[in-house]
Amino acid sequence: MYTADDRRYERMTYNRCGRSGLKLPAVSLGLWHNFGDTGVYSNMEEMCFTAFDHGITHFDLANNYGPKPGSAESNFGKILKEHFLPYRDEMIISTKAGYDMWPGPYGDHGSRKYLIASLDQSLQRMGLDYVDIFYHHRMDPETPLEETMLALDQIVRSGKALYAGLSNYDGPTLQKAAAILDDLHVPFIINQNRYNILNRTVEKNGLLEMTKKTGKGLITFSPLAQGLLTDRYFLGIPADSRVRTDGRFLREDQIQPEMIERLKALNEIAESRGQSLAEMALAWLLHHDAVTSVLVGASRPAQILANIKAAENTSFTADELAAIDRLSK
């Protein structure tokens, strides 16, 4: 049986999630990649051990994480049962529903039917009575927003989730959703969105501004732009890179010579700060007051340790921020 490191809480910064009472670690572990049936189970165990031993208390999943869909939750549930049950009250476990999960008209989008059924399946796969945060995974213009928010209300009131969250929403839709949830007295506390130095969508679609205005937390995924904001591509595309092995979220046509030059220039700024490019990319996110936590993925424990280092220096000069902004565009 795994025994957690006694010094784990000395190694992490914890940030309050908006105006709620919940705190999240500055760095959280996302199980989007490498926890499905194609992963090595012993490596999954070691990544979870390393994360928790260094203060990462938050583990983020979704119903469709795999491959195959559902397998990340099943594997994580096995790890929980075998090693982490004594620490359940020290963990924040989140999951989501909103993307295609099973055949037919009831396994996708934002209906009450889908969200409640999906969470029941997720809890069964993980062997849990409740999750700490349950997200609607994406906006659904075909379902009335009130229906989706009422489903989140029922989920929280039933005790199957402690808090509600929204993922991949824009600012105007977030504002409407927050108003409905506030009227229902639902503890909606967090938004999860893609955000990194190279992808500023949340700055343009009103999400970042509305997150601050409504007093919600923001946890960012793809903080390293699927590995682009590292030194892996300076000398070409590695054979084991996500471009070669997957290609859905990072494509070869995105890695042009002009992009490589921008990445090298960003790396020079990072080196002047005593950081790697990846560390600076994470630190840049954490310097924003609105950002509660950054979700990192990993394929091995060493990557988790490297990412945690980013929280050691999240201060930037005005000149550094201006140079990063120029290079990001």
Q: Is residue 288 part of a domain?
A: yes
Residue 277 token pair: 């490019």
In this predicted structure, which of 12-26, 44-58, 181-195, 256-270 has the lowest mean pLDDT? 256-270
Q: Is residue 257 part of a domain?
A: no
Q: Is residue 209 part of a domain?
A: yes
pLDDT of residue 226: 84
Cβ atoms of 167 and 136 closer than 8 Å: yes
Q: What are phi and psi of 99, to 5 degrees?
A: -105, 170
pLDDT of residue 1: 83
Average pLDDT of the residues in 255-274: 91
Q: Is residue 258 part of a domain?
A: no
Q: Is residue 14 part of a domain?
A: yes
Tell me, what CATH number does 87's domain have? Answer: 3.20.20.100
Cβ atoms of 119 and 95 closer than 8 Å: yes
pLDDT of residue 329: 81
Q: What percent of the chain has pLDDT over 70?
A: 94
pLDDT of residue 274: 96
In this predicted structure, which of 130-139, 250-259, 280-289 has the lowest mean pLDDT? 250-259
Look at strands 188-194 and 291-296 and give their pairing.
unpaired
Reported as a single tens digit per residue, the pLDDT across 210-246 is: 999 999 999 999 999 988 898 877 766 665 666 545 5
**Structural domain for 43, as ranges:** 8-230+278-315
- Total structural domains in the chain? 1
pLDDT of residue 244: 46
pLDDT of residue 33: 87
Reported as a single tens digit per residue, the pLDDT across 81-93 is: 999 999 999 999 9
Q: Is residue 127 part of a domain?
A: yes
Average pLDDT, the chain: 94
pLDDT of residue 260: 87
Q: Is residue 237 part of a domain?
A: no
Residue 101 token pair: 């999960």
CA–CA separation, 32 and 127 (whole Å): 19
Average pLDDT of the residues in 281-285: 98
In this predicted structure, which of 3-12, 67-76, 242-251, 283-292 has the lowest mean pLDDT? 242-251
**Model confidence, pTM:** 0.94
CA–CA separation, 274 and 262 (whole Å): 19
Q: Which residues make beta-bridge pairs with 162?
A: none
Reported as a single tens digit per residue, the pLDDT across 99-142 is: 999 999 999 999 999 999 999 999 999 999 999 999 999 999 99
Q: Is residue 205 part of a domain?
A: yes
